[in-house]
């Protein structure tokens, strides 16, 4: 099938010049209850309470995975702090430096466990999608098991031009990726696994292929894909590997696939090897604004400023801080923003690092945006509908199928911020749908109230009639 997207110049050579660098735990950790999934975990600790390394400090809730403390210390407060998703409630822990563990590390005999027990174990460890979405891994595996998905697709197709943490992880810890794949195959009940890697990562490809051979597991194969943005997104990746299209309002298990990131696989391997919950992650610190771009492993809750310090500090050219890549990331303010499970990159960008857009001009209907849209949409038509807030047209042209990858922005010769306008239109649609549902619920409540009043009035009328007949001696029951 034809793959749509962009071939972008890579900026990953400098971070990949050196091995993954381990950043020491900070004096104060800030553990966001929203680790990147858009939902908050439920706090399990109170200010003043002591915690140990591996303590569960927040419980899973809906789309939020459990959160564990990477250090021992005292909970200072639970309060709103700046995060990559804006102000969010966070558990602030003062590190006592003793690293007292909850329990002695010991391997988990995962081969002796059935799929359901493995899924529970993965859930208890707070395992979440480390590719950026931070959706609970156990939930995806459970959905795949229930749907009978036959393929586990490990996503190593890192397509943003500045991000290379997965490439570094596969290069240095390929055996962990393969072990994690074996565990997740057992948990999901899938028959085979494909590790998808883009062709601009030759060292990662060679390392994973060697690890697969060493594991002698015929169910696992490496598939090399073209380096095309946004092939790392779940829908385009499933289509590229299997030829199956995931419904825009559905899940990959509906087409027999469960997707996980290679970093998530490595985290599952650490869980079964050391009974270690997810308390750290590998991420890329890069851009012209930092002295020594590198891939680092940092505790969840480490402030961005400490990552920059571990990479030699600022250069003086940092114009923007971005959590994530240059196309899909979010701007962040200040050095206090903490690392979350969903943060795969901190881009300290100079003005020269980012495309110069200039003021938006009228659409010339060139069609470039439609040619690169990985979802096969017509962005120019969506733009017209978004400007007029035409709900019917937005639905007809597939606003809900937009993955907000930014390809249309990148190629637009008129510098129209299409993705931002689609995101705003989607938010307006969401709010309108919410108001509509509230109105329907309010009307239903009013109608139920009116029925209750009518029933009550009818019951009172009948009681009155009965009493009146009895008073007149007309009720046969009085005879």
pLDDT in tens, 256-267: 999 999 999 999
What number is the average pLDDT over the span 320-342? 92
Distance, CA of 65 to CA of 62 (rounded, Å):
8
Give the per-residue pLDDT at 474. 54
Tracing tokens 């085979």 back to the chain, one arrives at 192
Higher pLDDT, 30 or 472: 30
Q: Is 220 a residue whose pLDDT tops 50?
A: yes
Q: Model-level pTM?
A: 0.86
Distance, CA of 430 to CA of 426 (rounded, Å):
6
Give the per-residue pLDDT at 45. 97
Helical (H) or strand (E) element with 214: helix 202-215
Residue 5 C-alpha from the chain's centroid: 21
Using DSSP, state whether 318 is helix, strand or coil. Answer: coil
Residues in the chain, overall count = 479
What number is the average pLDDT over the span 296-307? 97
Q: Given pLDDT bands bounded at 50, 70 and 90, which one contains residue 475? A: low
The pLDDT tens digits for 53-63 are: 999 999 999 99
456: which residues sit within 8 A by CB, 6+ positions away? none
What number is the average pLDDT over the span 431-459? 92
Using DSSP, state whether 295 is helix, strand or coil. Answer: strand
Tracing tokens 């009013």 back to the chain, one arrives at 446
Give the per-residue pLDDT at 478. 47
What number is the average pLDDT over the span 79-87? 93
Distance, CA of 396 to CA of 385 (rounded, Å):
10
334 and 82 in contact (C-beta within 8 Å)?
Answer: yes
Q: What is the dihedral of CA 168, 170, 176, 178, to 10 degrees?
A: 170
The pLDDT tens digits for 139-159 are: 999 999 999 999 999 999 988
CATH placement of domain 15-19+110-281: 3.40.50.11540
Helices (H) and strands (E) in the chain, counts: 13, 17
Distance, CA of 378 to CA of 367 (rounded, Å):
8
Helical (H) or strand (E) element with 184: helix 174-188
Q: Taking the alpha carbons of 101, 103, 107, 108 in that order, is the dihedral positive or negative?
A: negative
309 and 249 in contact (C-beta within 8 Å)?
Answer: no
Paired sense of beta strands 320-323 and 28-32, if any: unpaired
Give the per-residue pLDDT at 132. 85
Kindly report, as residue ranges, where domains of CATH 3.40.50.11540 are found in the chain.
15-19+110-281
Going by C-alpha positions, the residue among 20, 22, 12, 13 that lies closest to residue 172 is 20
474: which residues sit within 8 A by CB, 6+ positions away? none
């Amino acid at each position: 099938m034809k793959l749509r997207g962009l071939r972008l110049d890579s900026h990953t050579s400098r971070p990949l010049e050196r091995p993954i660098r381990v950043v020491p735990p900070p004096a104060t950790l800030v553990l966001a209850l929203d680790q990147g999934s858009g939902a908050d975990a439920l706090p399990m600790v109170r200010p003043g309470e002591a915690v140990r390394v591996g303590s569960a400090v927040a419980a899973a809730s809906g789309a939020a995975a459990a959160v564990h403390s990477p250090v021992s210390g005292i909970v200072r407060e639970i309060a709103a702090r700046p995060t990559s998703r804006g102000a969010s409630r966070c558990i602030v822990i003062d590190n006592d430096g003793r690293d007292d563990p909850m329990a002695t590390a010991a391997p988990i005999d995962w081969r002796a466990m059935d799929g359901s027990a493995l899924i529970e174990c993965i859930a208890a460890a707070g395992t979440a999608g480390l590719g950026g979405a931070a959706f609970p891994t156990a939930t995806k595996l459970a959905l795949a098991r229930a749907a009978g998905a036959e393929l586990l697709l490990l996503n190593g197709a890192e397509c943003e031009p500045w991000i290379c943490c997965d490439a570094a992880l596969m290069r240095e810890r390929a055996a962990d990726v393969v072990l994690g794949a074996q565990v997740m195959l057992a948990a999901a009940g899938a028959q085979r696994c494909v590790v998808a890697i883009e062709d601009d990562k030759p060292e990662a490809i060679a390392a994973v292929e060697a690890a697969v051979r060493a594991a002698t597991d015929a169910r696992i194969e490496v598939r090399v894909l073209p380096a095309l943005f946004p092939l790392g997104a779940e829908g385009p990746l499933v289509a590229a590997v299997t030829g199956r299209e995931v419904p825009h309002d559905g899940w990959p298990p509906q087409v027999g696939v469960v997707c996980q990131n290679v970093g998530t696989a490595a985290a599952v391997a650490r869980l079964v090897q050391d009974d270690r919950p997810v308390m750290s992650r590998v991420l890329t610190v890069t851009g012209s604004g930092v002295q020594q771009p590198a891939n680092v492993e940092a505790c969840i809750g480490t402030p961005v400023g400490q990552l920059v310090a571990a990479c030699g500090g600022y250069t003086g050219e940092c114009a923007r801080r971005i959590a994530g890549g240059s196309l899909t990331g979010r701007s962040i303010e200040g050095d206090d923003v903490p690392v979350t499970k969903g943060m795969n990159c901190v881009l300290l960008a100079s003005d020269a690092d980012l495309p110069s857009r200039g003021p938006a001009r009228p659409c010339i209907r060139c069609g470039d945006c439609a040619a690169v849209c990985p979802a096969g949409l017509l962005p120019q038509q969506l733009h017209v509908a978004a400007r007029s807030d035409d709900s019917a047209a937005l639905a007809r042209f597939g606003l809900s199928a937009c993955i907000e990858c930014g390809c249309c922005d990148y190629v637009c010769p008129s510098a129209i911020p299409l993705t931002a306008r689609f995101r705003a239109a989607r938010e307006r649609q969401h709010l309108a749908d919410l108001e509509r549902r509230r109105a329907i619920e309010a009307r239903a409540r009013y109608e139920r109230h009116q029925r209750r009043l009518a029933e009550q009035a009818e019951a009172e009328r009948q009681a009155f009639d009965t009493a009146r007949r009895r008073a007149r001696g007309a009720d046969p029951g009085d005879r």
